[in-house]
Amino acid sequence: MGAGQYYLHDKKAETSERVAVTRTVNLPTNDPGKAIRLMAYTAMHQSEIKARAGGSTRGRKLTDPVYCYSLSWAPGEEPSQEEMIGAAQETLKKLGLEKHEALLVGHNDEPHPHIHVIVNRVNPETGVAAPLKMDHLKLSSWAEEFERRQGQIRCEQRVENNRRRD
């Protein structure tokens, strides 16, 4: 709930003027406030969802059900809201989270366009939490692929790091 409220309001939480766009993923609502509550419900009822799906309810209790990251474009770039949302959805797929509940929040409070991805680690169908192993490496690989499709590599060091990891 805290992450959602932070991203949906200005830094002092008095207004929501910095929010340029929101989009829900795998949720039955487009209302971002309701989406956050539904995601919290899924996380709090993980054991029940697992049992309903026929999975084991034993194991460690999930302490961090929310996974957040952001995608940023360079100052001066002007991606459309749909391009930003599409990029965020690509990253969810790259991380294996395309079936998870997520809220995408684009902000206009910085000189660079950016979108935040708030995703529920708990799969709403199975109750299984995404492990997110090597997430930063997967996102780095995606960023390089994205820049190549755009026709301009903006971070040569990332390319070198990804090459060394292969």
Confidence label for 14 from pLDDT (cuts 50, 70 and 90): low
Q: Which residue has the higher pLDDT, 13 or 23?
A: 23
Q: Can you spell out the DSSP letters for 115-149? A: EEEEEESB-TTT-PBP--TTHHHHHHHHHHHHHHH
Q: What is the per-residue pLDDT across 25-45, written as a single tens digit (0 to 9) for each?
A: 999 999 999 999 999 999 999
Provide the pLDDT for residue 153: 92
Q: Percent of the chain having pLDDT more than 90?
A: 72
pLDDT at 92 over 90: yes
Average pLDDT over the chain, rounded to an integer: 89
Q: What is the per-residue pLDDT across 56-70, written as a single tens digit (0 to 9) for each?
A: 887 778 889 999 999
Residue 61 DSSP class: P
Residue 27 DSSP class: S
Confidence label for 84 from pLDDT (cuts 50, 70 and 90): very high
Query: How large is the angle between the packed helices 81-94 and 135-150, nearest 10 degrees?
Result: 140
Provide the pLDDT for residue 35: 95
Asked which of 17-21, 48-52, 131-135, 145-149 is least confident by mean pLDDT, the reply is 17-21
At 103, which helix (H) or strand (E)?
A: strand 102-107
For the chain, the distance separating the N- and C-terminal CA atoms, rounded to the nearest angstrom, is 38
Q: What is the reported pTM? A: 0.88
Identity of the highest mean pLDDT range in 20-24, 91-95, 155-159? 91-95
d(Cα 98, Cα 91) in Å, to the nearest integer? 9
Provide the pLDDT for residue 144: 95
Provide the pLDDT for residue 46: 95
Q: What is the per-residue pLDDT across 2-13, written as a single tens digit (0 to 9) for each?
A: 566 666 655 655
The whole-number average pLDDT for the span 83-93 is: 97
